[in-house]
């Protein structure tokens, strides 16, 4: 460190050293800079001192600090206007006749959830004389990172992302934020990340579904979900379920919840895991015979619950009511009472928001759409039969 720096406080010296490293390109945009502890070790100072240096860098716009993840180099050399997708990758020449090209990255899609999103985006692309390019991540973060890089290299004008994970966002998403590249998240928002998202109002939807079960006389309702893992859609549905109980003055019995359904996750969707989850639900119903209804956070979990009930000789809905989020029609019949998400509208808005972000518009960070309660054949009033159950 230069001698003429010695008279300055150590935090200023560290600040200037890191600032110069960033300016000289030793740390590139999106790179993680040393942590408070690492700086403390390098400069032989306390973490309080190194923390102050990082705070100065953040205040001057050189870094972005992400709680629990670290500090990353910001795009300090650019203006605060959105990056132009194709200009960000000047080496690629796109042959789209001047039309916009928007990339879509999602875990997967099917009849239960996802098809509507794609339909909505595809229709919006037609309405705006644009194209949509799809890549699936199958819930694998590495696939998601590769897809983001690949679509940027292709020269897309913006991105729509249904994140592979809720607990952590990958470094490529962070780089999009730092570089102010136009992108929108669908189905969930990521904590600690300043990025626009469009999703269902899952809290209100869960309240609506739970209240419907209450109106049918159910009080012992088991909640079935994958591990929340900071996935905001699941967390919001849990919040809504609890909120509905509080508003009715009904005690929430977490002992009758199952929060480790894993076979419906994109990375674990195999028959062996489905069988394990069915057996888990069966054992749970045997252990808690007073359960009269199940609230599944998604359609595929409702299918598992139905199979478990069938194998126990329980009739749905006479012995056990089941409600879930999303449910496709089968042969013109709606088998499950469910909260229907407005997927096509979600997809349309996501596409249009990316185009508007590209034009420099300021948009709200979160847009929430209502879920509609659709009554199917899987729910019915409580019957006084608990003591008569046999397995």
> Domain containing 174: what range?
85-199+343-370
| Residue 239 and residue 97 share a domain | no
Is residue 269 in a domain? yes
Q: For residue 319, what pLDDT is reported?
A: 96
Task: Report the domain count for the chain.
Answer: 3
| Residue 273 and residue 362 share a domain | no
| Residue 194 and residue 183 share a domain | yes
Asked if pLDDT for residue 229 goes beyond 80, the answer is: no
Asked if pLDDT for residue 388 goes beyond 60, the answer is: no
Is residue 79 in a domain? no
Is residue 80 in a domain? no
| Residue 273 and residue 181 share a domain | no
DSSP 35: P
Cβ–Cβ < 8 Å for 151, 85: no
Cβ–Cβ < 8 Å for 148, 373: no
Tokens (6 digits) for 138: 């199958």
**Residue that terminates a domain, selected from 49, 73, 97:** 73
- CATH number, domain with residue 300: 3.40.50.2300
| Residue 382 and residue 243 share a domain | yes
Name the 3-class secondary structure at 123: helix
Residue 53 CA to residue 20 CA, distance in Å, equals: 13
Across the range 211-228, mean pLDDT stands at 94
Model's pTM, two decimal places? 0.73
**Residue that terminates a domain, selected from 38, 73, 108:** 73
Across the range 263-278, mean pLDDT stands at 81
Asked if pLDDT for residue 91 goes beyond 60, the answer is: no
Q: For residue 1, what pLDDT is reported?
A: 47
Is residue 296 in a domain? yes
Q: What is the pLDDT of residues 125-158, one digit of tens each?
A: 999 999 999 999 888 888 999 999 999 998 999 9
Q: Which residues pair with 224 in a beta bridge?
A: 258, 296
Question: What average pLDDT is seen over the chain?
Answer: 85
SS3 content of the chain, % helix, strand, coil (to 5): 40, 15, 45
Residue 201 CA to residue 236 CA, distance in Å, equals: 8
Q: Which residues pair with 161 in a beta bridge?
A: 105, 185
Is residue 355 in a domain? yes
Q: Which residue has the higher pLDDT, 177 or 372?
A: 372
**pLDDT exceeding 90 applies to what percent of the chain?**
51
């Amino acid at each position: 460190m230069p001698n003429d720096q010695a008279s300055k406080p150590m935090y200023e010296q560290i600040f200037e050293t890191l600032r110069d490293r960033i300016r000289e390109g030793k740390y590139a945009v999106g790179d993680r800079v040393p942590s408070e502890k690492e700086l403390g070790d390098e400069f032989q100072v306390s973490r309080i001192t190194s923390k102050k240096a990082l705070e100065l860098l953040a205040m001057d716009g050189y870094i972005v600090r992400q709680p629990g993840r670290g500090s990353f180099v910001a795009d300090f050399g650019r203006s605060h206007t959105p990056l132009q997708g194709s200009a960000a990758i000047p080496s690629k020449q796109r042959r789209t006749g001047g039309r916009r090209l928007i990339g879509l990255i999602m875990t997967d899609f099917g009849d239960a959830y996802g098809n509507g999103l794609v339909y909505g985006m595809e229709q919006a692309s037609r309405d705006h004389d644009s194209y949509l390019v799809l890549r699936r991540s199958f819930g694998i973060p590495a696939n998601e990172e590769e897809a983001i890089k690949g679509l940027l290299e292709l020269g897309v004008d913006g991105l729509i992302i249904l994140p592979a994970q809720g607990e952590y966002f990958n470094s490529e998403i962070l780089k999009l934020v730092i570089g102010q590249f136009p992108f929108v998240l669908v189905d969930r928002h990521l904590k600690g990340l300043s990025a626009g998202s469009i999703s269902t109002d899952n809290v209100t939807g869960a309240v609506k579904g739970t209240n419907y079960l209450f109106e049918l006389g159910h009080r012992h309702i088991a909640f079935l979900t994958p591990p929340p893992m900071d996935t905001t859609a699941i967390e919001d549905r849990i919040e809504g379920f609890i909120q509905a109980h509080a508003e009715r003055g009904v005690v929430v019995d977490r002992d009758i919840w199952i929060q480790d359904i894993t076979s419906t996750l994109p990375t674990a969707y195999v028959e062996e895991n489905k069988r394990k989850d069915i057996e888990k639900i069966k054992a749970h119903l045997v252990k808690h015979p007073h359960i009269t209804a199940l609230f599944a956070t998604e359609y595929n979990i409702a299918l598992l619950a139905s199979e478990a009930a069938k194998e126990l000789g329980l009739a749905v809905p006479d012995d056990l009511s089941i409600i879930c989020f999303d449910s496709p029609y089968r042969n013109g019949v709606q088998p499950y009472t469910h909260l229907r998400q407005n997927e096509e509208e979600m997809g349309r808005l996501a596409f249009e928001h990316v185009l508007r972000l590209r034009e420099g518009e300021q948009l709200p960070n979160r847009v929430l759409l209502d879920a509609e309660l659709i009554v199917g054949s899987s729910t019915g009033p409580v019957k006084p039969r608990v003591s008569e159950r046999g397995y």
